[in-house]
Every structure is written in structure tokens, then in C-alpha cells.
Chain A
Amino acid sequence: FAGLADVSISEEIPVEGQITVPVGSHSPDEDGSTLDEPVRETIMRDLKAVGKKFVHVLYPRKSSTLLRDWDLWGPLVLCVSLALMLQGGSADSKDDGGPQFAEVFVIIWFGAVVITLNSKLLGGTISFFQSLCVLGYCVLPLTVGMLVCRLVLLAGSGTISFIIRLLVVLAMFAWSTLASTAFLADSQPPNRKALVVYPIFLFYFVISWMILTFTPQ
């Protein structure tokens, strides 16, 4: 044990210090302050995040913002507005030309969940809510297309208006599908990409079909 004498801590050096345990290993820098920040800041932060994602969908680039900070507010707003427009504003009547409100809702959310499960079962690395977020936000072009269709239908419902609507819906459908595959395709293994893109194609096709065949009473 004599050799250990060199290793020992002499009495003159005070052995003291602080033991601090970090709260969470993945906590962001502003950890203490997000617990104490004023409510307005929280609201503005979330609103800005939602707005940024809308812009990202309109100009799809390969960026990870949509994937990193997912939220489901955008999809909720888009789903509700699309369902309202498809409903045609008439309350609960069986005669209107559009599908029932709840049907559109269920189709969108159930469809998105099924696609997400499909991509996860095929071995995708994306998480459940991220995928729902992307699919929901990429409904934006189709919602815009629905708005345009309703405006065109206000002008008239002849052949010309049908051709205009067809072209608009086709363009929006292509935009939605391309935007969502741009975000989702990276997370899939390369030989499975077609298997993942096809359900997304089908999903937006069904929504586009609902938009194109909408006729108000």
C-alpha cells in the first residue's frame, strides 16, 4: 500500500464540488425557460411553426423541418376546411351532392393512419406522427384546388368549367403526391419505394376524386 501514498489526496487540497444531475438527457437549451415562458410566446412559437410548414409544402424542397418538428394543427385545419367545402354548407340533408362531413374526416384520417402503418411495416424509419404530419400538410394543394373548384362552379357548371376543374385538380393532385413523396421517400429502403408511393398516390387520388365529382345543389 505504500505505492498508493502517491495517489492519495493530501489534506491541504479541499475535496469539494457540486453534484448536478441534468434533468433530461435530451432537454433543449432553453429547458428551464420553456417551463416558465409566457403563454403568448408559446402560442406564437407554435403558430410560426405551422406557418413555416405550410410554406414548405407549397415549395417542396428536401428539408427536414417538416419531419423534425411535427405537429398536427395544420392537418386538422386543412381537414376541417376541406370537409366543410365538400359538405357544401347544407346542414345534414341527404340530398346534397357532396359526401357527408364525417365521411371526409374519417377518410382522410383513416387513410393517413393506414398509409403510415403500411410504411412502418415496410421498414420505414419515420415515426408515426411524423408521417401523419407530412400526409396531412400535403393535403394543402388539394384544399386550394377545392377552393378554386368551388369558385369555378359559382361561375357555371358546364363542360368548360368541368375541363378547368379537371386540369386544376390534376395539377394539385400531382403537386400533393410529389410533395409528400419528396418528404417520405427518403425514409424508405430503396427497393420498397414504389410500394410506399402507391398508397399515397391512391390516397390523394381518392381525395381528388371527391373534389372533382363535387356538385353543389
Chain B
Amino acid sequence: PSLLTGSLPQALVDDTEDVSLDFGSEEELALRKARIRHPLATFFHLFFRVSAIITYLFCDWFSNSFVACFVTILLLLSFDFWSVKNVTGRLLVGLRWWNQIDEDGKSHWVFEAKRVPTVAASTEAEARIFWLGLIICPVIWTVFFFSTLFSLKLKWLALVIAGISLQTANLYGYIHCKLGGQKSISRLTSRLFVTDIPKRQTRRISEDPIEEHGKTSTR
């Protein structure tokens, strides 16, 4: 009997070791190992921005019509703004920002950062692509602004200004989210620290009289 009990726990230990390592399905394991977990989001994050820039640079090759180029670039910039603000931001880096108006009519800008990482959380590669795309494109549009201004192709100026404002808005919003997240993390730790002390203090207050009582009782 002792041999049986001796061997069974061993087998059980082996079984539990095998079971505990298997967290989830094969897909989740593959997802965890992948360098890019949201390929579609990454693609679209860059697609609209880069297409807008390419269309602006090579619009003369595509069509003779100023109107068609203008509308196409404007639509690409708008889709890019919407998709970066609403989709790729939360999928690739877990950040989101928006504007809310409460009942008083006052407008609040809300910046949100994801805390709990899930299986499908973003990887470093995705985050790097996100931030690079976010920062480089407004810089390129600013270069276009100066080139348009100095070459006096003023009919494009409205479009370039629209491009700069849309892309800079996203950049500003996400930087605010990122910095806001760090600020609130420090606020969280300080709040934890502060609420910890009163508990200890009350403990101490409660402990001392009891000790005194104990002392007096023994006496």
C-alpha cells in the first residue's frame, strides 16, 4: 500500500505539471508568440496615411483633375483620422481619447489607457509601428505646408492644412493618453500608500490599550 501511495502522488504530480502548463488553445499560444497580433489594424494604420501622402505627391500622374485629387486625399485623411482614433489606437496600444459633453453643456476631453493586458494585447513591434506612423506623418505634412507656401501652389494649401490638423490632433490625443496613463499610475500608487497608513494607525491605537489592559490585568 505504501508503494502505491508513494507512486500515485508522483503520477499525479506529473499529470498536474502537464495540465498546468497548458494555458489555452493552440491559437492562443500562437497569438502570444506572434510579433504582430493585429495584422489588419497595423496595415490600415499605415495604409491611409501613406496613401494620402503618396496621392498628394503623385496626383499629377493619377489624374488631371484637381477636384478628384482633393476629394480623394481628403477622404483618405478623414478615414485615417477615424481609424487611428477609434480602432488602431485601442487595438495596437490600448489607448483611446474622446470628447464628452455632460448635462451642463461643458465639454470634457477624456483620455483612457488600458491597464489589464489580455492575451491579444499588443506587442512591442506593433507599438513601435504605431508611434512611428503617428509621429512621422504630421512632420511630412508640415514639410508639404512649407513647400506649398513657398512654391505658391496655394490651391493645395487648404488640403495641407486639413491634413496637418487631422494628424496632429491624433498625435496630441495619444500623447496625452500616454502621459495621462503614467500620471494616473503614480496617483494610484500614492493613493494606495496614503490609505495604508490610517489602517496601521488604527491598528496601533487598538493594540496599545489592549496591551495596557493585559498588563493591568496581569497585575
Contact = CB atoms under 8 A, between A and B. Distances in A.
Interface of A: 1-2, 4-5, 7-11, 15, 19, 21, 23-24, 26-28, 31, 34-36, 39, 42, 46, 67-70, 73, 76, 80, 84, 87, 91-92, 100-102, 105-106, 125-127, 129-130, 187
B66 interface: yes
A9 to B, nearest CB: 5
A26 B208 CA distance: 43
A34 B96 contact: yes
Given A34-B96, A91-B66, A11 B206 contact: yes
Interface in B52-92: 64-68, 70-71, 74, 78, 82, 86-87, 90
Given A92-B67, A101-B67, A7 B205 contact: yes
B70 A102 contact: yes
B195 A80 contact: no
B12 interface: no
Q: How many interface residues does chain B have, given as a range? A: 35 or more
Interface of B: 64-68, 70-71, 74, 78, 82, 86-87, 90, 94, 96, 99-102, 105-108, 110-115, 155, 158-159, 184, 187-188, 191-192, 195, 199, 202-203, 205-206, 208-210, 213
Given A73-B82, A92-B67, 18 more contacts: A1-B205, A1-B209, A5-B213, A8-B202, A8-B206, A9-B202, A15-B203, A19-B192, A23-B112, A34-B90, A67-B105, A70-B101, A73-B78, A92-B65, A101-B70, A102-B159, A106-B158, A125-B105
